Amino acid sequence: MKGKSLISINDYSKSEILQILDLAEGFEKQPRQPILSDKVVSTLFFEPSTRTRLSFESAANQLGARVIGFSDAGTSSAKKGESLKDTILTVACYSDVIVMRHPLAGSARWASEVSPVPIINAGDGANQHPTQCLLDMYSIRKTQGKLDKLNVAFVGDLKYGRTVHSLVIAMCDFDATFHLISPAELKLPSYVKQHIKDKNLEYHQYLSIEEAINKVDILYMTRVQRERFADPIEYENVKNAYILTKDQLKNCKDNLKVLHPLPRVNEISEDVDDMPQAYYFQQAQNGVYVRQALLATILQ
Ligand code: CP
């Protein structure tokens, strides 16, 4: 994995994923380890972010690396019409690894094909979000004590939710049973479903959370991705499709945890935050340890 880009979760084998998660456990126990003090990490965010950018920057800082970059492409020369290729070739002169978020699906793969330094995909359009996937898996393993043979429900925008796409694909290697809860307009894309079919795993589709809540170990809530809709009326029709409330957790299994990649808009009622099932802020914290493990693996 040293020196390699991470663009899609499929770029890592099951054993490589487990290696990252094991390493992340070490960083959780001891986060401040200045092992990358001779490295520079670039964070290029062509789309908004709070968690991904700041947890990467926190991870890099805690490892002793320097961080450069931009959080608003409007302040970069992209605004003057510079191509992505030229931006990447330039930033590669200044840093050892580039963490990049971009609205276009496939942009991170394209960047990795022209870049002399590794690219880490921090989200490319509605396609993939592999580092979120790793921290989701870390959170699942930490709360369930295992990754194998779990019942995982995905709720909300399964069509445009890139974190869902990456996590479904990854959990296929761990024999998950999938419970897919979405409006008809926001179903999981068929190319992602194909991964489930290829592994002969079970999946069930529902319109409501109530139909699945008593069967699942993980309830993975997602935001309806307003920025991906071509038609604002379509967004208005589905934006409040699911709002998880305390009452809906009455019939859940004892081990159930609610995950959400965040940001949340209104799909989890704030009264759920104090429930023992709520795990989304710890999940965000786990992102630092996992990203430390990733930077250390790629740069050392
Ligand atoms: N989960 C996630 O990608 O959050 P941000 O958009 O805040 O980075």
In a domain, 181, yes or no: yes
Give the per-residue pLDDT at 18.
98
Phi, psi (degrees; rounded to nearest 5) at 286: -60, -25
- Going from the Cα of 50 to the center of ligand 1, the distance in angstroms, rounded, reads 6
In a domain, 162, yes or no: yes
Asked if 141 and 226 sit in the same domain, the reply is yes
Asked if 69 and 118 sit in the same domain, the reply is yes
- Going from the Cα of 233 to the center of ligand 1, the distance in angstroms, rounded, reads 25
Asked if 65 and 150 sit in the same domain, the reply is no
Give the per-residue pLDDT at 71.
97
Closest-CA residue, ligand 1 atom 4, reads 51
Give the per-residue pLDDT at 190.
97
Of 33, 162, 147, whose CA–CA distance to 107 is shortest?
162
Place of tokens 């925008």: 157
C-beta of 298 in contact with ligand 1 (< 6 A): no
Vertex 63 angle, CA 58 and 66, to 5°: 70
Instruction: Give the global pTM.
Output: 0.96
Closest-CA residue, ligand 1 atom 3, reads 52
Give me the active site residues, please.
Answer: 51-52, 80, 101, 129
Give CA separation, 127 vs 76, 104, 107, 163, 189, in Å: 24, 8, 10, 8, 10
Q: Per-residue pLDDT tens for 186-237? A: 999 999 999 999 999 999 999 999 999 999 999 999 999 899 998 888 898 8
What is the Cα–Cα distance from 121 to 230, expressed in whole angstroms?
24
C-beta of 225 in contact with ligand 1 (< 6 A): no
Closest-CA residue, ligand 1 atom 5, reads 49
What is the chain's percent helix, strand, coil content, to nearest 5?
A: 45, 15, 40
Give the per-residue pLDDT at 154.
98
Asked if 235 and 176 sit in the same domain, the reply is yes
- Going from the Cα of 95 to the center of ligand 1, the distance in angstroms, rounded, reads 23
Give CA separation, 79 vs 39, 46, 90, 124, 261, in Å: 28, 10, 15, 19, 29
C-beta of 287 in contact with ligand 1 (< 6 A): no
Asked if 181 and 231 sit in the same domain, the reply is yes
Q: How many domains does the structure of the chain reveal?
A: 2
C-beta of 51 in contact with ligand 1 (< 6 A): yes
Give the per-residue pLDDT at 230.
86
Asked if 135 and 268 sit in the same domain, the reply is yes
Query: Domain limits at 165?
Result: 131-284
Asked if 135 and 202 sit in the same domain, the reply is yes
Give the per-residue pLDDT at 231.
87
Closest-CA residue, ligand 1 atom 6, reads 49
Vertex 107 angle, CA 101 and 112, to 5°: 95
Asked if 108 and 198 sit in the same domain, the reply is no
Residues in the chain, pLDDT under 50: none
120, two tokens: 């880490």
Q: Provide the 10 A C-beta neighbour count for residue 293.
A: 24
Nearest atom, ligand 1, residue 50 CA? 7
79, two tokens: 């605004």
Which amino acid, 58? S
